[in-house]
Amino acid sequence: MSTLSSIPGFLPILELISTPLPAFLITLSLTTIPYFVIKLSVTSQYLDLFRMLSSNLESQLGYNRKHNSLQNEFDFIVVGGGSAGSAVAARLSEQYQVLLIEAGGDPHPLTYVPLMAEALVNLPMIDWQYTTEPLNNSGFVWPNQKMSWPRGKSLGGSSNSNNMIYMRGNPEDFNNWARYTGDERWSYANVEPIFKRMEDYDGHWKGSSHHGEGGPLRIEKSNYDPSASYWLKAGKELGKRVLDQNAFQSEGFSPLDVTQKGGARFSTFRGYIEPNFNNPNLTIHRYSIATKIHFDSGMKAIGVTYYRHANKKYASAKNEIIISCGAINSPKLLLLSGIGPKEQLDSFNINTLVNLKVGENLQDHVLGMAGPFLLGKNVSFLRFRDLTPIAATEYLALGKGPLSSPSGISATGLISSQQNDNKNWPDILMMHVARGIDKNMGKELEQVLGMKLNSGLSKFFEYNAMNDSNFVFVAVGRPKSRGYIKLASNDPFVKPLINPNYFSDEGGADLDVLIQGIQFAVKVYENTTAFKELGARLAPNHFPGCEDHAMKSRSYWECFIRQNPHTMFHPSGTCKMGPLDHPDSVVDSELRVIGTKGLRVADSSIMPFICNANLNSPTIMIGEMCADLVKNDWPNITPEKNVTITV
C-alpha cells in the first residue's frame, strides 16, 4: 500500500471510489442506463423499420427490380403470387427463367403491423372483396345473408392479410391425402421435411427436431398474450396437454407461433419474393390479371393472356404453366380457359376442352364466435385503454405489445367432438382471443367485414361495452359440407359465384360439432379455477334474434350460430387432387391438370380434404412440393420433353 500510495493521484482516486455514491447519482445511473439501453434498441428497431418501409416504398415504385417488358417467352409461367405462388416462383427461378403474373402490387405497408391487419381486410387495393351467395337459413348479420370472403390481392396474396397463425395441420390430414391419391409423397413423413425446410423457426418449441432453421419463412412466438397463461392452465384442468401442434398435432392447448419477424408480419412476399429482387431469372408482372390459358392442338398449355394496366398482353411458356390463384380464382381461370363442367361452360358459350369437376368440393372452416366471456381483471386488449403512446414506443423499440398482436389471438386449442373416434386427429379448432369490448367494436367490425350495419352483432357487443373479455373462435376442423365456385359470366372481370353451403351435410354433423365446440369453450371459462380466478362468465345477454331460446341451451347455440356465422378465411378444395381415374379429380397427385400437358395447379384449391389447421402453412408447403415435382420433371431444360396426362 505504501508503494502504491506513492503513485501520484492514487490516494485521491481511492478516496473517490470508496466514498458511497450520493443517492441522486445512484438514481441517475439506475434511470439513465436503461434509458440508453432502450434508446439504443429503439434506434436499431427504428432503423429496421426505416429500412423495411423504404424498401417497401422502392418496391411499390418498382425501382428495385428487373424490368424486361420485351421478353414474353419464359421457361415457366406462374400465375398468382400468393402463399403458394410466391414459393413456386422463387424455387423455380433458382434454375429456370420464370414469369410471375400477379393481379395486385406490393403489400400495403400497414400490413406489416399485425394489429392493423384487421382494418385492412376488404380494402379494395389489396383485396378481391368477394361475397358468397345468400347462406341457407343462416348468416342473418350479413347483408342479404351474403357473407364477405376477403382474399388477398398483392404479392404474398392472403399471407399479407391473414392473422399470421402458424399451423401445419395434422399428420393424418396428409396421410389421408396420400391414401386417397395413392401417392406416398403426400404422407406426413414425406411432407414434414418440406415444412422444416420452409421454416426459419424461432417459436415456442425452438430446438425441437420437428422444426427447421434458415428457411425462407420466419416464425416467432406471439409477443402479446395477456391471458394465454390462463387459457393453457384451464386446458390442463380439463385434461388437455400443452403441446406443439406443429410436431404431431393432437388434442391439446398451445401457445401461439406466428409468421412474424421482430413483431412485423412475415408474408411470403418477404420470405420468397423480396430476396429475389435481384434474381435475373425471375420476372414479375404486377397489376396483371390473367384471363385465359391457351393450349396447342395437343392440349399442351402454351401461354397466358393477361391484362396489365388494362393493356391486353400475352406471354408464352416453353415448358409449363402453374396456376396459383387461390381456391376461388384458380378454378375461375380454368373455367374461363375451357376446363370444367361441360354443362356450366356451355351455358356461357365457352368451348369445353376437358370436362372436369372444377369448382366443386369447396370447403371452409365455418366459425362461431363464442363469447364474450367477461373478465374481472385487466387481462385482455382494450384499445381505448391499451393502445397508448407507451404501447407504440414498446412496439417500435421491441416489436412487442398489442400492435404486434393478430387481433388479440394469443393461443389455440384442438379438441375432438363426440363423433370423432380418433383423438389424435381432432375435429374442432379453437382460437383464444384476448380481446375486450371497445365502445364501437361491433360497428367497426360490421364496417370492416362488410356486415349489415347495426346488425345483431353491434347490439350484442353494446350490452357489454368497455369490459375486459375473451372470445373463442371455434371452427369445424374437418367439415363434411361441400360448396362450389361457378362462373357468373364469361366476362373474366365479373366475380364468380361462391356458395360455401355451410351446414348442408346430411345428418347435420357440422352444426353439431360446432355446437359442441362452443359448449366446450363455455366450460373452459366457467368450469375451471384458472378462469374462475378472473371471475370469468359468459355475457348474460341473448344474441339478438335468439331471445326465445333458453340461454346456453342447444337450441340457443344453434340460433346463435345461424345468426352470426363467420368464415375462418380458409376456402380450399376446388381443384381437387385425386387419383387419375377418379371422376372428382381435377389434378393428379403431381398437381397436373388432368387431360392437359404442361399445366399444374398449386395452392389451397388442390387440397382434397381441408387440413385441420389454418391454411397458410400447408399451402406454402404445396407450393414447395410443386416446385420439387417440376424440378424433378425438368432436370435440364429440354423443351422437347412434355409431361403428358391422359384421362
> Which residues are catalytic, by number?
570
Q: Which is nearer to ligand FAD, 370 or 601 (CB)?
A: 601
Q: Is 150 in the site for ligand FAD (CB under 6 A)?
A: yes
- Classify 618 as helix, strand or coil: helix
Q: Is 407 in the site for ligand FAD (CB under 6 A)?
A: no
Give the shortest CB-404-to-ligand FAD separation in angstroms: 14
As a whole number of angstroms, the distance between CA 482 and CA 499 comes to 9
Q: Which is nearer to ligand FAD, 324 or 469 (CB)?
A: 324
List 325, 350, 498, 593, residue binding ligand FAD (CB under 6 A):
325
List 92, 115, 141, 164, residue binding ligand FAD (CB under 6 A):
164
Give the shortest CB-621-to-ligand FAD separation in angstroms: 11
- What is the x/- site pattern for ligand FAD, positions 72-91, by CB under 6 A? -------xxxxxxx------
List 77, 234, 333, 559, residue binding ligand FAD (CB under 6 A):
333
Q: Is 326 in the site for ligand FAD (CB under 6 A)?
A: yes
Strands 199-202 vs 217-221: parallel, antiparallel or unpaired: parallel
Sole window of 61-69, 150-158, 310-318, 539-547 interacting with ligand FAD (rule: CB under 6 A): 150-158
- Classify 173 as helix, strand or coil: helix
Hey, how many other C-beta atoms are within 10 angstroms of the C-beta on 183? 16
Q: Which residue is nearest to ligand FAD (CB)?
A: 82
Helix (H) or strand (E) holding 316: strand 311-323
Sole window of 30-38, 50-58, 385-393, 613-621 interacting with ligand FAD (rule: CB under 6 A): 613-621
Q: Is 410 in the site for ligand FAD (CB under 6 A)?
A: no
**Residues 188 and 168: beta-carbon distance below 8 Å:** no
Q: Which is nearer to ligand FAD, 365 or 542 (CB)?
A: 365
What string of DSSP letters covers 33-98? HHHHHHHHHHHHHHHHHHHHHHHHHHHHHTTTS---TT--EEEEEEE--SHHHHHHHHHHTTTS-E
Helix (H) or strand (E) holding 459: helix 456-462
Q: Is 106 in the site for ligand FAD (CB under 6 A)?
A: no
As a whole number of angstroms, the distance between CA 260 and CA 115 comes to 12
As a whole number of angstroms, the distance between CA 610 and CA 622 comes to 13
Sole window of 2-10, 99-107, 191-199, 384-392 interacting with ligand FAD (rule: CB under 6 A): 99-107
Q: Which is nearer to ligand FAD, 299 or 327 (CB)?
A: 327
415: number of CA atoms within 13 Å, CB side?
Answer: 25
List 148, 163, 380, 410, residue binding ligand FAD (CB under 6 A):
163
**Bridge partners, residue 535, by sequence:** none
Q: Which is nearer to ligand FAD, 240 or 285 (CB)?
A: 285
**Residues 543 and 344: beta-carbon distance below 8 Å:** no
Number of chain positions touching ligand FAD (CB under 6 A): 43
Q: Is 324 in the site for ligand FAD (CB under 6 A)?
A: yes
Q: Which is nearer to ligand FAD, 470 or 528 (CB)?
A: 470
Orientation angle between helical segments 509-526 and 228-237, nearest 10 degrees: 100
List 49, 75, 77, 104, residue binding ligand FAD (CB under 6 A):
104
**Residues 548 and 556: beta-carbon distance below 8 Å:** no
As a whole number of angstroms, the distance between CA 549 and CA 558 comes to 10
Q: Which is nearer to ligand FAD, 160 or 516 (CB)?
A: 160
- Classify 393 as helix, strand or coil: helix
Q: Is 426 in the site for ligand FAD (CB under 6 A)?
A: no
Q: Is 153 in the site for ligand FAD (CB under 6 A)?
A: yes
Compute CA 468 distance to the chain's CA centroid, rounded to the nearest angstrom.
27
Q: Applying CB under 6 A, which residues contact ligand FAD?
A: 79-85, 101-104, 121, 150-154, 157-159, 161-165, 167, 289-290, 324-327, 329, 333, 569-570, 603-604, 614-617, 619
